[in-house]
Each structure stands twice: as C-alpha cells, then as structure tokens.
Structure 1
C-alpha cells in the first residue's frame, strides 16, 4: 500500500509539471512542485514558505507580460514585470548539455522585460548550469541561503543583487549586463567568476562585511569595474583578482571609490593577479 501511494504521488508530481508547461503559472504555489520542459510564468508568482520548487535540466522558464492586476508588487524589493517570489526552497540544477533557461517569452525582448527570481528568506536556493537573460534583476536575494554556480548571466539590468544573504557565487560568466553584482551587507563568497563587458562589474552600496572576493577576471567594464555607494566609508579588500592590466593607473581609473570622493573608502586591489584565471567562469560556456 505504501509503495502504491508513493508511485501515485510521483505520478501526480510528474503530471503537475506537465500541466504547468501547457498554461501560464500564476498566483501562489504550495507543496512539492516539479517544473520541466517549457513553463510560462505570468504576474507575481509566489512560492510559499515550506514549499519546494524543483526545476529539471533543460527546462525553459519563460516570463510573459502580466495582465492587469497580476503585477501589484513593483516597488523595490520587488520589480516591474512578471517575477518569481521565492519564500520556500528552489532547486534549479541544470547540466552542461541541458541548462535551465530563465528569460522573457519574447525572444528579442530587451533588458528589464521581466522582474526577478526574488528570494525572500529562502532557506535554500541552488542554481547550477542556468542561463539568465533579459531580467531587471535576474537573481535578487534578501536574507537567504543561496548557491549560484556554473551559470551564465547576460543582457540583464542587474545580474545578481542581494543583501543580508549567505551567498556563494562561483564559476559563473557574467557578461554584458548594465550591472554585474550589486550588494550590501551579506556574507558573499565571490570566487572564480568571469565578468566581462558589463556597465559596472561590482556595485557595493552599503557597509560590506564577511565577504571574500578573489580569483575573478574583471574585464572591459564600460563604466567602472567597482563602484562604492555613499554608505561605504570603509576600505574594501579585493586583492587577488585580475583586472585586465597590472598598471595601477589603469586599474584605479576603473574604480569609483575614495580616490574620487574623499568620504568613501578605498578599494584595496593589491596584490593583483598578473594574468587571467583560466578556471574562472563555467567550463561549459565561454
């Protein structure tokens, strides 16, 4: 009897995933949920506390424009457009052959066409071998436990944005976003990522602490490699990263810190790596 109930439960879970791939997901989600194939998201969709969302390898999560009354949460810490608001657990583990894609349902839409995967006190959020594009803030996290690895962030307004979160960001390609990584407070480990052609590669807005940022390639930032917000009076340690040059004048020209405004701290970038880290970024995409 127990085995029969277990098989039935698995069947219902699989069927619920298939059903969601055929019609837009809206409203509030509860329980154990499986997404696979193609899933359309419309409006502010909330995964409630205690629920778990599993996303299968190869899944495409496509964000539709919200209908009237479906996008009531638009002011920060939420965003205009359809978004996933995660209060439970999200496990998005793709593979090199079958990455999970988060993008607009309109293939040629620009940055900011959908809101965010918005983590709100999530006890576990794992993203591996994922592709994020066309978002306002592709991953936004508050007070959550997050792991982001071996993924691509491209053509977003902000790739990764967080505060007061325990977050590991490792082996990702963060390319051609208006801002790459934006954060304050929190306890980030940001290691072995390849950041290239972003407007601002790092935007540190307020009192960073308990952070480790090293072994990253930070290249060809269109505006600045690192920007300090007004609430960063302390120095910030970012030694052992590669800046595309070993010339201090060239590196410092890409920084907006106490070298420009006296009340800000300074970025401590020495010792700087003398060559790019070959292992930085995901091995499956360059």
Structure 2
C-alpha cells in the first residue's frame, strides 16, 4: 500500500489569504512518500515494516505539540514533536534540493523539536539533509544508519546513538552544543568537518568497535573530546586534524585521564598535520 503525504491537505484560513497545511500526527504504515512541505505535530511514528521515502527538496517542519500529542518525553524520547522510526527511512536529497528538518519558527532555538528517533530501524539513510533546532537531530538505538553529505547546525546534539551500526562521513557539524555523542555502537566516523561545537565528541560509556579518523575537529568552545564516567578505556583518535599541531594546545581541549585519573586517555597520535580538504560535504546551501 502506498500512502502519499505530500503537502497534505491545505486548509484556507479565513482571516486572510494564508494557507496552512494539516499536520501529520500518530502512527503511519505501509509505503509513505513525503514531498514539498510536510508538517509534523506530536509523536509521529513510522511503524515496523513501513518505509518512509522523503524526496529531494522536502521541508519536514516540526510544529509545537498540543496537549495529548507529546506523550513520549522521557529519554530515550524527547520533549517536543518527534519523528520515531521503527521501520525504514530513506531521506536522499541532492545538492540542488536538500531535505530540511527544522522547527516551524525560523528564529526558534536549539531544542525546539525532539529528534528523528531511530528505534531498531533496519535501514536509515540520510544524504544531502540539513538538520537544525533539534534536541538530538538524529538519535539512534540498535539501528543501521548511514549519514553522508549533510549539515547539522544549531542543535543541542547533532548525532546521538547507542548500540548502532553508524557510518557518518562527509558531514558539516557546526554550532551544536554537542557534535557526536555515543556509547557502545560500531561507528565509522570519517571525513567530517566539526567546528564551533561546545563538545565535538562525547563518549559516554565503553566505546568499542569504532573508527574515528580523517576528521577536522576545530574551534570547540568547551572540549574537542570528552570521556564520561564510564569510559576507563583509552579512546583511539589518531589521524584527525585538531586545528593545531601543538600537543599542549590539543590536550588542553580533552577531558580525559589527564584531568581525572580514573578515565582513559584520548590517544591522538599520529595526528594529521593539515586539514583534510575533502572533509565535510561537497556542497553548501
């Protein structure tokens, strides 16, 4: 069954000539196609077995929920309207027509909507997407996720995951409170440009089976990398560029065993002497 949800049903607002789209709410099943501008309100769920296709140029806009529509507010869910994906999501934009996930108000701050929340999704693909104003733009548990050629800006957390197979490459992660936050999981994180984040990387618990290399990690406001209390292991982050080749300046941006003895250390040598010119997306909006 195909369910086409494009600009949804347009309702005429009589107090002027404004058109407003009826928002999507609740649980969705089958083959779902979104295009143009799609408004979400409350907890919207792509159920197990369903596939959401988002076409290039689509704007996915998160409206503030009304009473009774935001029942899932406690972690691993988030306050505000949220897209919960238990099935598949295929969001493949283009450089000319990226897919945008944003709040309804252009001037809304970070945390104005919840997340694209992947819950045991067998396939989640994001390319040429822009995520802004979210609590946790992409949040993943036990899912198969590919994120490439995308921009994460002005979110509380850009990418947050647990026990997921993540491939994160050629993205711009800029101006978030936290860039990439995870524990467990098996991520490959390479050729990303992380700049002006509060914490570029936050390892919260026993990272393992990870590859983090060939990234530019620049101008972090607080720390370039933080180890949480459940990370007694050393964390391997060789072959990244840190904006400087001075070990003292690099290590000053680590919160690890150099500050608290029970934590592991960030092992960053050998470091890349120069920025990776092909890190980040090969396009700009």
TM-score per shorter chain, which class?
Answer: over 0.9
Check the 8 A contact 1:144/1:165 in 2, yes or no. Answer: yes
Size of the aligned set, in residue pairs, is 275
Structure 1: gaps of 5 or more residues:
1-8
Q: Distance in 2 between matches of 1:136 and 1:74?
A: 12
Q: Deviations over 1:195-236 (max 9, x none)?
A: 000000000000000000000000000000000000000001
Q: Distance in 2 between matches of 1:167 and 1:271?
A: 24
In structure 2, relative to structure 1, the CA distance for the partners of 1:70 and 1:254 (3 Å cut) is: same
Task: Using the TM superposition, give the Cα deviation of residue 285 of structure 1 relative to its aligned residue in structure 2, in angstroms.
Answer: 1.8
Task: Using the TM superposition, give the Cα deviation of residue 240 of structure 1 relative to its aligned residue in structure 2, in angstroms.
Answer: 0.1
Q: Secondary structure at the match of 2:72?
A: coil
Correspondence for 1:212: 211
Correspondence for 1:223: 222
Task: Using the TM superposition, give the Cα deviation of residue 18 of structure 1 relative to its aligned residue in structure 2, in angstroms.
Answer: 4.0
What does 1:54-93 align with in structure 2 at a 5 Å threshold? 54-93=53-92
Correspondence for 1:5: none
Check the 8 A contact 2:3/2:30 in 1, yes or no. Answer: no
Q: Secondary structure at the match of 2:275?
A: coil
Q: Deviations over 1:98-137 (max 9, x none)?
A: 0000000111100000000000000000000000000000
Correspondence for 1:41: 40
Q: Secondary structure at the match of 2:108?
A: coil
Correspondence for 1:233: 232
What does 1:156-195 align with in structure 2 at a 5 Å threshold? 156-195=155-194
What does 1:119-130 align with in structure 2 at a 5 Å threshold? 119-130=118-129
Q: Secondary structure at the match of 1:187?
A: coil
Structure 2: gaps of 5 or more residues:
11-20
Q: Distance in 1 between matches of 2:132 and 2:7?
A: 24
Q: TM-score, structure 2 length as denominator? A: 0.95
In structure 2, relative to structure 1, the CA distance for the partners of 1:84 and 1:20 (3 Å cut) is: farther
What does 1:126-141 align with in structure 2 at a 5 Å threshold? 126-141=125-140
Q: TM-score, structure 1 length as denominator? A: 0.94
Q: Distance in 1 between matches of 2:3 and 2:218?
A: 44
Correspondence for 2:6: 17
Correspondence for 1:144: 143
Q: Distance in 2 between matches of 1:79 and 1:284?
A: 31
Task: Using the TM superposition, give the Cα deviation of residue 20 of structure 1 relative to its aligned residue in structure 2, in angstroms.
Answer: 6.0
Correspondence for 2:262: 263
Q: Deviations over 1:143-163 (max 9, x none)?
A: 000000000000000000001
In structure 2, relative to structure 1, the CA distance for the partners of 1:133 and 1:20 (3 Å cut) is: farther
